[in-house]
Structure 1
Amino acid sequence: MNYKVLKNGELLRVRSCKVYPKPYNFTEHMEYVMFNVDDREEIVIESETEIKSAVIRPLSAGISFEISFGKIILSVDRPVKLSVEINGSSNNNLMIFAYKEEFIGPTHNYIKITQGEYKTGTLLIEKDNTTVYIEEGATLYGNIVAKNCNNITICGRGRVCMERYTYEMRKNFARSIDIINCKNVTIKGIIIDDSNDWSMRITGCDDVNISDVKIFGCRGNSDGIDICGSRNVTVSDIFTRVWDDSFVVKALGTGNCENIIFKNSVLWNDFARPMEVGVELRADKVRNIKFENIDIIHSDTGYPLMGIHHGDHAEVSDIVFDNIRIEDTPGAQLFDIRIADSVWNRDNKMGDIRNITFSNIKYLGTDNNDILLSNSRIEGFSEKHNIRNVNFHNININGKYALTPKELGLNIYEFVDGISVTADNLKNERTVLESEIVVQDDFKPDNGFYKGTVKVILHNKSDVAMNGTAAFAISPKNTEKEQSFEYNIDPNESQSYEFNLKLQAGKYVFYLKNNKNEIENTFLYSELPMIVSENINDCPKYQFVNYYNTKCAEVRIAVKDSELIIMNDSEKTTEFLLYTAMPVPSAEGEVMFSAEETDFGEIYALLKKGNELVPAPQLRCPAEITYVFKNEPKVKEIVKTPFKLKKGETVKLTFEKLGISKNTDSFLMELEAKVEETSMLRYPYTLFHSTMPDKTAHMYGKIRIKEGK
């Protein structure tokens, strides 16, 4: 354990749970303490890591502290859920859960789990008037399932944990708490740890109260609380740190979903969405849903913070997000409302979305991160399945209020009507510099690389001078250095900045960073083909580089007599895996670009929409591209060819073996190098930055055999 914690001089027990933070190469442990608060309690925190600075989230809790002799000293006088973060990082944090103990008396059927460890498999509740009490210090390994019961209570300060259950056991051991077709349900105080799937599912239930629950999830699909086709549900005073969505409303054919409120909670998402209505809305009505007084303290990957996603037949209406405070969410979308096809749709017809309100939303930003917020989005499906009446009121971004969709960073697509952006404070209006990124001098081949100049133009169309620092960035990461620049632009003036670049062949997105979020989020996409000659020794070295700036493989590539020739120019023997495919015309809805940092919220994927490319925030990870939305290029075949080369050794592969047409003047390829330095990383080490080269060819390099074609 890293931390030692004392309450009024008494040593507290420090516990830990598994979490899965980006960049998702390894699970880690987060430490936490729990205690009853009767009066003002003095808390002293010591760390094995030297404490130089600290922040306590959520900031709205207003917890003051001091650092004295390397210790954090604070006081707590009420129930709170706090993250203590040292030295400018959320890694290696300490959670504090202070609670006010309340006694819940036993019912007729009383099950008590006392201190210690219990392997239960499934604890099945089948009788009315049942209470399951999990004592503090008790761990129930398995899950709790209640079906067709009335008057059910699950409470206590103990833990329901599934760490001993593998992902392959999900058929029988999926959700930690699964309540199905029950009435009058209370769930209070417990910890849910390392669920095999959704942490808590409430399905087809009426009159449910969930409060003071702590949820830790580190696996895919480890949602926090999913309310599915239920009515009259209150979810309050919750803490989640999960890998998937935190608060979710769905309808799985178990009746309408109505009168649901999530409130007074603290959310931390390591991957997906903090608050979500959808998908899987298979009901006649999904309505009267409210998210209120919620702090999002971390959400790292650019997914929507508040989303409504629909593809089934429900009429979705009267959804409110109010009094939401947002802290550390670089690159995130604030809002996303969309009707679309996906793998999750089951109904043979679609519904619509009506009367949505976002009010009193405050984005605080992060001082040490300059990744711009992704643009928000509203997009209907058709004239019949559309979105109507969405109101944004008092949306505060970095201290300024948005009064227009542009100031809000909102993209409004087709089949949408009735959008309003208003604020009570008209004097503190948000100002945004309009931006352009253009190619000043075309990229031209130069000794196997490309040289060109890109220009950034900032326009100040406000009535106040604007100044600050921004950065010109390129994705894939580390293919070229970021370049910072300062701007000081008077009203109705513009400034331009030029950047000279030298790039290998591949696909690139040029974009801007700014920690004030006062620059319009725009991008420029460029595809640079690899032009190869016949003599391998005349070809330049192409270097592998990844998100971590690992550079430990180099190759030369040539084509002669319908053979692809690859030379290992690395310092040691290297295993390679070659992927080849023939080009196909790009199609509507096809993903054109995504890199490893797309998964980490630093840049968005790009999608073909009509004759242009648009940001695709729904494609944050490769699984969304290939499984959920099926946006990958529909190449006929991806051929995989493994080989191993010593330093300076070459391999010659016939076009026929690689699935390449004999007389073609171009083809697609990706090359993966298998090296020890990258063996434990989430994504393969590839020349053109493909993250899933065996399933999608959208990042493959285009190889031109003859110059000018």
Structure 2
Amino acid sequence: MKSFILPFLWLCFVACNKIAPSKEEAEFLKSANSTVQANLSTAVTTYPLPSSLPNQYKSTAFTVSAGGNPVGLYNAGNNSWGNSVSYGYFDFSGTVSISITPSSGFSSFKLVPSSLGITGVRSGNTITFTLSQPTNISLVLDNDYQGKVLHLFAQEPESNIPSATDPNVLYYGPGYYDLSSQPPLTLSSGKTLYIAGGAVIRGRVKIDNASNVTIRGRGILLNDYNSPTDDIALALGAVSNSTVKDIIVNRNIGSWTSAMHNCSFVNVTNYKAVSPYFASSDGFNINSSHDITFDKSFIHSADDAVAIKGMSDQIPANSLPVYNIIYKNAQLWADANNTIGIGAETRAAYFQNIKFQNIDILYNYDDKNHPDVLPDRSAINIFALHGTYFNDITFEDIRVERAKRLINVQMDETFYFGSLTGNWNWPGAMTNILYKNITSTSGGSNEIKLIGWNDSHRIEGVTLENVKINGNYVKDFKDSHLTMNQYANSVKIVSPSGTVNSDVYNASTDFSPVQGTRRWYYKYWQAGIGTNLMSWNPDGSNHWRGSSSYDAIWNGSGNIYIHPDNSQPILVWNAPKSGTVKITGLVRKNDIGGGDGVNVSIWKNNVMVWPSSSWQTVVYNNTTGFWHDINLPVTFGDELSFRVDQRSNSGWDTTYWNPEIAYQ
């Protein structure tokens, strides 16, 4: 019976105080009470639209019932492609049957997220399904995420509802309140703003320098206008030890939906944002704050659904840090930019201990005006514009249903065509970033990009653990989804196939038809000509070829094969960072049918480092070969080269080598 608390409290308040309810409240009580009486077995509470709600805020795109009772639907506005987005909400306990009838025809439908396992049944134009626990669920028609969509918020019964007569409570009962001509609603420390189910406030909330405040209720904060003082519907500044709970915020204009700045110890639970207006309608931004928890959020935005930013106006070393942030159990939808984002504004002393866990990414698109022109946009994004430090950042148990790109970790100096600029003269690095149990069923590129800035601003210590793309695990660095530059190091891939570390460079495992892959290059040296890159042989033989008939480098059976021919084939590795490397491997003859053997050596830049004095001769029939195991200091850009030269002729000179380079 908890689902009946709201109408019950209103009846008690009216009776005890002998105050007649307003017309709006009376209509709400009559409707809510009939819902209660009709659903004693299923315990469903629906909240009718306020009778004075302007028509533009009402949705006629769908008809919805829960437990046989109508659910009021709101029009959140049009999305980036001009199609309406609708939403509605109700409370229930037990099991409830839902029916949805779109107002226009459709061929197919999908109920998302897929992780709910709800498929629904269609009869005519009506879709039915049942829910046995509170959740948010969305309807997509004809697989068109850019078309008309419906979001339903099926919630558990509300409890501990504050009293309308409590002097510490700013209470808005059911009805429509247009506060657009007034200053924003504010709260002082210890106060509560309560927006009841069935209430719609057209206005703004702005709370500064307060603690122990609460913003809650099942109702809606609607904002579709600009203010001369601020453009954020719900803004928290220097707020601590506070709660935001249950409310729906609908921002239907191009600016942030909600944001906090310089806040601490704030809990946001069951927050819903439906703000599809293009663009900049970020769902709830966390700026220069710490010790923040988000649980059970739903966001549909036309910019970052979630963004964690450093928004100070000082150099990072003197700026507020960003740390201890947990964001969990969410459903996120972004029609533009990123679904989960850290940055692009990164003026903070550091970003540390940030965790996203158990999240369904329903949809992510980059930009309706510039599709595929902004390759730094992704479902899960870290984009740094400023030199500072990022460490201990975790993304775990995230399911991506529809997106263009999957993961982006990038340091850059400009953002969105130069609209934001950064500074890399300040020190900084990214370390200890974990992506664990990331599953994508998206048809997009699913690119995973790691791009550091320079030798002193690196990405170090990224782990991709059980990252699965359309049923296949990312298991090594030759995966086509991976893009990395030389400033992304100490990257580890963990999958059921085993663990692969980017600081271990194996010539055979890393072998590629693309020069420079995993820092390996395929070259040849010829007297009187010098050193040149080999060419990939496209005839199916999978060989790198030099200028002569038989000089080649190829791969097979876990080893590299090298054959000289009036030139020296050279297998080259370019150091991505400074450190000490261990160079191990076995070199021996492969073809022992004749000839006079080969000479082999290892060089660092222009100095031979193995053997110590002269080239090592491997006679024609030596299948035992020679083992090398040397430790060598390297700096960024140093070249280690493995060279094979013929002796008097190149007959039967195929040589078998398996070099591996590992940072110590």
Shorter-chain TM-score range? 0.5 to 0.7
CA contact (8 A) 2:209 2:238 kept: yes
CA contact (8 A) 1:33 1:95 kept: yes
CA contact (8 A) 1:215 1:224 kept: yes
Equivalent residue, structure 1, for 2:383:
309
Paired residue secondary structure (2:229) = coil
- TM-score between the two structures when normalised by the length of structure 1: 0.57
Equivalent residue, structure 2, for 1:94:
150
Q: Which amino acid aligns with 1:20?
A: N
Equivalent residue, structure 2, for 1:385:
457
- Per-residue CA deviations over 1:217-269 (Å, capped at 9, x if unaligned) read 21321111111111111111111111110111112236211110111111111
Equivalent residue, structure 2, for 1:662:
none
Does residue 1:221 correspond to 2:280, yes or no?
yes
Structure 2: distance between partners of 1:459 and 1:220 = 49
CA separation of 1:264/1:201 partners in 2, compared to 1, >3 Å: closer, same or farther? same
CA separation of 1:379/1:67 partners in 2, compared to 1, >3 Å: closer, same or farther? same
- TM-score between the two structures when normalised by the length of structure 2: 0.60
Structure 2: distance between partners of 1:294 and 1:177 = 23
Once the two structures are superposed, the pairs formed by residues 498-537 of structure 1 within 5 Å of their partners are: none
CA contact (8 A) 1:405 1:411 kept: no
CA separation of 1:87/1:16 partners in 2, compared to 1, >3 Å: closer, same or farther? same
Equivalent residue, structure 1, for 2:291:
232
Shift of 1:435: 9.5
Equivalent residue, structure 1, for 2:337:
272
Paired residue secondary structure (2:213) = strand
Q: What CA RMSD, in Å, does the superposition of the two structures yield over aligned residues?
A: 2.9
Shift of 1:131: 0.5
- Per-residue CA deviations over 1:505-546 (Å, capped at 9, x if unaligned) read xxxxxxxxxxxxxxxxxxxxxxxxxxxxxxxxxxxxxxxxxx
Does residue 1:259 correspond to 2:324, yes or no?
yes
Structure 2: distance between partners of 1:6 and 1:196 = 32
Equivalent residue, structure 1, for 2:236:
179
Residue of 345, 351, 355 corresponding to 1:286: 351
CA separation of 1:57/1:207 partners in 2, compared to 1, >3 Å: closer, same or farther? same
Does residue 1:116 correspond to 2:170, yes or no?
no
Q: Which amino acid aligns with 1:153?
A: T
CA contact (8 A) 2:162 2:194 kept: no
Does residue 1:70 correspond to 2:125, yes or no?
yes
Shift of 1:425: 5.4
Structure 1: distance between partners of 2:324 and 2:130 = 37
Shift of 1:126: 4.8
Give identity over the alignment, percent.
24
Paired residue secondary structure (2:203) = strand
Residue of 472, 479, 491 corresponding to 1:407: 479
Structure 2: distance between partners of 1:299 and 1:72 = 25
Shift of 1:271: 1.1
Shift of 1:399: 0.5
Structure 1: distance between partners of 2:185 and 2:421 = 29
- Per-residue CA deviations over 1:79-130 (Å, capped at 9, x if unaligned) read 1111112233232222111011333435752111232122144334352111
Equivalent residue, structure 2, for 1:42:
97
CA separation of 1:68/1:86 partners in 2, compared to 1, >3 Å: closer, same or farther? same
Q: Which amino acid aligns with 1:304?
A: S
Paired residue secondary structure (2:204) = strand
Larger CA Rg, structure 1 vs 2: 2
Residue of 437, 443, 466 corresponding to 1:394: 466
CA separation of 1:321/1:76 partners in 2, compared to 1, >3 Å: closer, same or farther? same
Structure 2: distance between partners of 1:229 and 1:201 = 11
Residue of 348, 359, 363 corresponding to 2:436: 359
Structure 2: distance between partners of 1:10 and 1:198 = 34
Q: Which amino acid aligns with 1:37?
A: F
Residue of 245, 250, 256 corresponding to 1:188: 245
Shift of 1:78: 1.3
Once the two structures are superposed, the pairs formed by residues 396-475 of structure 1 within 5 Å of their partners are: 396-407=468-479, 409-424=481-496
CA contact (8 A) 1:81 1:97 kept: yes
CA contact (8 A) 1:130 1:153 kept: yes
Shift of 1:363: 0.6
CA contact (8 A) 2:413 2:424 kept: no
CA contact (8 A) 1:318 1:355 kept: yes
CA separation of 1:126/1:314 partners in 2, compared to 1, >3 Å: closer, same or farther? farther
Q: Which amino acid aligns with 1:422?
A: V
Equivalent residue, structure 2, for 1:538:
none
Structure 2: distance between partners of 1:339 and 1:327 = 26
Paired residue secondary structure (2:361) = strand
Structure 2: 5+ residue stretches without partners: 1-59, 313-318, 367-371, 415-419, 500-511, 515-537, 543-555, 558-664
Paired residue secondary structure (2:453) = coil
CA separation of 1:252/1:72 partners in 2, compared to 1, >3 Å: closer, same or farther? same
Paired residue secondary structure (1:328) = coil
Q: Which amino acid aligns with 1:237?
A: K
Equivalent residue, structure 2, for 1:376:
448
- Per-residue CA deviations over 1:292-350 (Å, capped at 9, x if unaligned) read 11111111236211111112243111110101101122xx2211111121224378624
Structure 2: distance between partners of 1:383 and 1:124 = 49
CA separation of 1:44/1:186 partners in 2, compared to 1, >3 Å: closer, same or farther? same
Structure 2: distance between partners of 1:344 and 1:179 = 26
Q: Which amino acid aligns with 1:92?
A: K
CA contact (8 A) 2:475 2:497 kept: no
Structure 1: distance between partners of 2:220 and 2:229 = 19
Equivalent residue, structure 1, for 2:563:
none
Structure 2: distance between partners of 1:69 and 1:458 = 57
CA contact (8 A) 1:142 1:173 kept: no
Structure 2: distance between partners of 1:98 and 1:425 = 41
Structure 2: distance between partners of 1:134 and 1:183 = 21
Equivalent residue, structure 2, for 1:207:
265
Runs (4+) off by over 6 Å: 457-461
Residue of 156, 168, 178 corresponding to 2:217: 156
Equivalent residue, structure 2, for 1:565:
none
- Per-residue CA deviations over 1:610-640 (Å, capped at 9, x if unaligned) read xxxxxxxxxxxxxxxxxxxxxxxxxxxxxxx
